[in-house]
Structure 1
Amino acid sequence: MIAPEKRRRATYRRGLHGEAMALLALMLKGYRPLATRFAAAGGEIDLIMRRGRTTVFVEVKARAALADAQIAIDAHKRRRFSRAVRVWLARHPPPPDATLRADAVFVGRRAWPVHLVDAFAIE
């Protein structure tokens, strides 16, 4: 059995690796990073990216299987994510013609990240 502390460290490292893979995949698609791991109001935004006039708030889920990653964004996570987005927007007001979007990137073991555009609504 794996000790809880070792499991936490392994999960943390897997999350960091997933975020790095997601960042790389999005940059190759033409997105420019604005912030990483932004935390506020009890929530966290893994990546904040911009492409053209669109600001994208990205939730990254890294799991051994892509199917497990896709079901990991539940209603509670979306609410916390949306609170952090509202704080970001209050601190960094977007231009009037900007488009805002919440995307998800799913990272599985030995697979290229899957980018889901407009994955959920910002509440």
Structure 2
Amino acid sequence: MPETREAERRRITERRGRSAEALALMALMLKGYRPLGLRFRAAGGEIDLIVRRGGTVAFVEVKARGTLESAQGAIDARKIARFSRAARAWIGRHPACDATTFRADAVFVSPRAWPRHVADAFPIC
């Protein structure tokens, strides 16, 4: 019985995450970004969204929580390290990309609030 509850919890979390990513992407597109990739996985890390506007490619971490404040607190040093490895892998796989700037952005999502986009939220180390 506990395995069934855990599997159901994972499915619900997965659906919420995908919904938050879709909402974040829509918000970014309204700001003029265009998508380059979704859920890119490499080097032990994952990037939720990869978007571009002008000469900037932004690797975006989407965090959905009950409040915007708790979403902002959900990105820790371990997450940044894994995210950074994946971002470096993406850059290495796309040498023809003519972007002049690469950065790590975050979009925080919570119920009854417009997603909060933070440009250059943390360094790509």
Question: TM-score interval w.r.t. the shorter chain?
Answer: over 0.9
Measure, in 2, the Cα distance between the counterparts of 1:9 and 1:18. Answer: 14
1:23-102 equivalences under 5 Å are 23-93=25-95, 94-95=97-98, 98-102=100-104
* 5+ residue gaps, structure 2: none
Provide the residue aligned with 2:5 in structure 1. 3
- TM-score, with length taken from structure 2: 0.93
AA aligned opposite 2:63: K
Secondary structure in 2 matching 1:119: strand
Once the two structures are superposed, what CA deviation does each residue of 1:24-54 show, in whole Å capped at 9, x if it has no partner? Answer: 0000000010000000010000000000000
Q: Which residue of 2 aligns with 1:114?
A: 116
- Provide the alpha-carbon RMSD of the alignment: 1.4
Count of residues in Structure 1 that have an aligned counterpart in Structure 2: 122
Query: 1:109 deviation in Å?
Result: 1.1
* Alignment partners' CA distance in 2, 1:10 and 1:22: 18
Secondary structure of the residue aligned to 2:124 is coil
Report the identity percentage.
64
1:21 to 5, 20, 23: 23
The gaps in structure 1 that reach 5 residues or longer are: none
Aligned structure 1 segments of 4 or more residues deviating by more than 6 angstroms: none
Q: Secondary structure, in 3 states, of the residue corresponding to 1:23?
A: helix
What is the letter of the counterpart of residue 111 of structure 1?
A
Amino acid in structure 1 at the alignment position of 2:80? R
Deviation at 1:8, TM superposition (A): 0.8
Hey, what's the Cα distance between the residues in 2 that align with 1:15 and 1:99? 27
CA distance in 2, matches of 1:8, 1:91: 31
User: How far has the Cα of 1:6 moved from its partner?
Assistant: 1.3
